[in-house]
Homo-oligomer: A and B are copies of this chain.
Amino acid sequence: MSNDIIKSILKNYESDNNQTIQCLNKILMTGKLAGTGKLIILPVDQGFEHGPDRSFSINPDAYDPHYHFQLAIDAGMSAFAAPLGMIETGVDTFKNKIPLILKCNSANSLAKFNDQAVTGSVKDALRLKCSAVGFTIYPGSEKIYDMIEEARDLFEEAKNAGLATVLWSYPRGNISKQGETAINIVAYAAHMAALCGAHIIKVKLPSDFLEEDPTKKSYIDNKIVINNLADRVKHIVKCCFNGRRIVVFSGGEAKNDSELMTEIEAIKKGGGFGSIIGRNSFQRPKDKALKLLNNVIDIYKRK
């Protein structure tokens, strides 16, 4: 049911009950990366965040929620994350076929402020047989303290109910556009997520830019190595309790596949735990998506 790699990851979660550990184990023992200690999650909240057409019209099959369940299964991914309504459509058809993560808050591009609406609950997650709840916080926004408190409430209830928790930590607000992916800001956002008690942390891949901020000086004074992406990934892992918490990365705006592979190599090399790949998965025909995801998986599986 598990192996030594997975056991060594799970023993870092010293405070969790058996069911929560089993949920994490299930994610780590599912799909083509099962047992490797690496994971790939398919997130489909783009329809909420950007609207259905910007998300799916390039690959119209993707308007159907079942497409995504099946894609995640066929690609051998570790888990499928989506908002309430989308998860509800497939809980019977895809029962026990892939771990589900209920994304419990979402923004939408018609709303012009740095916040999200809560759209799911632990009770929903249990009803839908999910393995985890997911939540987003925006460090730097004027709503950050409210968002952290919502995450706290959700996570306390989730841990008590035996679920795992995933925290998307996306800086914005009192931060320059370039600073949103600056290494010093992403490191802070990742550490904050760890302190909030998330089991799995999700951040964007950091650039080598240093936001003008009181934290910048430490990078220079203490010579933190951030030259190449693998080093930056390594630094983020360090900021997630020195590797005691699972951290996965997204690339953000879709780019060409070769660049994506280079990023995956860097995540692997830097000791990152894996990827969360949305648009690059579902914004192309399924056969091409499966091929791409297979290549990603191959990199993560390579010894």
Contact = CB atoms under 8 A, between A and B. Distances in A.
A144 interface: yes
A188 interface: yes
A254 interface: no
- The complex is assembled from copies of this chain, and their number is 5
Contacts of A106: 195
Nearest to A191: B52
Interface stretch (A1-9, A26-34, A57-65): A57-65
Contacts of A194: 85-86
Contacts of A88: 13-16, 197
A195 B109 CA distance: 15
A227 interface: no
Contacts of A65: 241-242, 244
A224 B106 CA distance: 25
Interface string A186-199: 01100110111110
Interface of A: 12-16, 47-48, 50-54, 57-58, 60, 63-65, 83-93, 106, 108-113, 115-121, 123-124, 127-128, 139-140, 142, 144-146, 148-149, 152, 156, 159-160, 171, 173-175, 184-185, 187-188, 191-192, 194-198, 213-215, 217-219, 221-222, 224, 238-239, 241-242, 244-245
